[in-house]
Amino acid sequence: MANDEIQRRKADHIELAASGISDFRERSTLLESVQLVHQSLPELAVDEIDLSTKFLGKILAAPILITGMTGGTAEARTINRDLAAAAEMSGVAFGLGSQRALADNADLLSTYEVRDIAPELLLIGNIGAIQAQEYGVAGVAKLAEQVGADAMAVHLNPAQERIQHNGDRDFRGAAEMIATLNAELGIPLIVKETGCGVSKQVADRLVGMGVKNVDVSGAGGTSWVAVERHRAQEGSAQQSLGDELWDWGLPTAVSVHSCVSAGLNVVASGGLRTGYDIARAIALGATLGGLAAPALRAQRAGGQEAVYAFLESLKHSLQTILLLTGCRTPRELQYAPKHIQEPLRSWIQDLGPGLAEK
């Protein structure tokens, strides 16, 4: 694919994700089905609550990841640097958008570079599973090295690609590539969906490959099928299919439960907007909560300072929820009393034993 076409697509993605016009119409994250139980005698001081969380060998100040969004354009450079600087100040993790544009054009490195302003940041690189087959382990390792990534996300997005004009159409070999990268890359690997979630069947396959970390990126936030539907030519088959499959995907809460029950270390992303969302995801067993669109919208509203303020508000919310549930750490939320409402309860029952039995 021509590099200028990739850059135009990246610019479109920023606009469409920030605008909210591509959000899921009817499908939610189902995190609202997780009800945490209020404890009016928490016997805690706020200062006793510790949000710090270990992830991929680093200690974060809070269980938060700004998930990968962009790269490859001049605007992307500003966005990535604002987000990374704010994440460093707040002590949370940050992921870059797909580095496919960088792989095709080394001159775009500056649009991904953030290490100079965020030297201590837990930084996650990003490449598609299909592109990883083309570049091989050495090529993916080079992409990680170029940006100073601590880990690499390999993203899966067959639904998005099917709607995208000139998108990938052959998804064979991705599983074998993931297994190879997991064994040979030399830095932690995160397998990441792109807005449609990770099923129990896929989670079990990943475990069988030796994969330990997954970012579920479930349904309920930005629909990347809808993003590509908006980009499709008027009256085209892609536009029609995008309308039909706008709400395609597994709700984030369902994906979290499926991946946790398979034994994976889970980043819960896809439609998370608040500290309460993050707390509910952690109660389901996730290690981190990941957010993209809210951080992007904060950046566009007020740059680095607005992103930092947003991250600090998430931490304040999480701290308060831990207090009100009698928990000293985020991990304790996994064992705190909770009520799983419909329709999430039925999803869990249909997919196998777990939280529905508690």
How far apart CA 203 and CA 201 sit, in angstroms, is 5
CA-based max dimension of the chain = 61
The 3-state secondary structure of 235-283, one letter per residue: CCHHHHHHHHCCCCCCEHHHHHHHHHHHCCEEEECCCCCCHHHHHHHHH
User: How large is the average pLDDT for residues 259-283?
Assistant: 98
216: pLDDT strictly greater than 60: yes
User: How large is the average pLDDT for residues 209-224?
Assistant: 95
User: How large is the average pLDDT for residues 96-124?
Assistant: 96
How far apart CA 156 and CA 196 sit, in angstroms, is 9
User: How large is the average pLDDT for residues 46-74?
Assistant: 95
Lowest mean pLDDT across 5-14, 132-141, 252-261, 305-314: 5-14
* Three-class DSSP category at 151: strand
Lowest mean pLDDT across 5-14, 297-306, 334-343: 5-14
Position 358 scores a pLDDT of: 37
356: pLDDT strictly greater than 50: no
CATH code of 16's domain: 3.20.20.70
**Res. 21 pLDDT band, cuts 50 70 90:** confident
357: pLDDT strictly greater than 50: no
User: How large is the average pLDDT for residues 199-216?
Assistant: 97
DSSP 182-198: HHHSSS-EEEE-SSS--
Residue 80 near residue 111, CB atoms below 8 Å: yes
Range of the domain at 320: 3-357
354: pLDDT strictly greater than 70: no
4: pLDDT strictly greater than 70: no
* Three-class DSSP category at 154: strand
User: How large is the average pLDDT for residues 236-264?
Assistant: 95
Residues 6+ apart with CB under 8 A from 80: 70, 71, 96, 97, 111, 112, 114
Give the global pTM.
Answer: 0.94
331: pLDDT strictly greater than 50: yes
How far apart CA 106 and CA 285 sit, in angstroms, is 39
355: pLDDT strictly greater than 70: no
Q: What is the mean pLDDT of the chain?
A: 93
Higher-pLDDT residue of 6, 198: 198
**Res. 14 pLDDT band, cuts 50 70 90:** confident
Residue 219 near residue 252, CB atoms below 8 Å: yes
1: pLDDT strictly greater than 80: no
Domain count, the chain: 1
Position 9 scores a pLDDT of: 66
**Res. 169 pLDDT band, cuts 50 70 90:** confident
* 164 burial level (CB within 10 Å; 0-12, 13-18, 19+): buried
For the chain, give the percent of residues with pLDDT over 70: 95
How far apart CA 81 and CA 21 sit, in angstroms, is 25
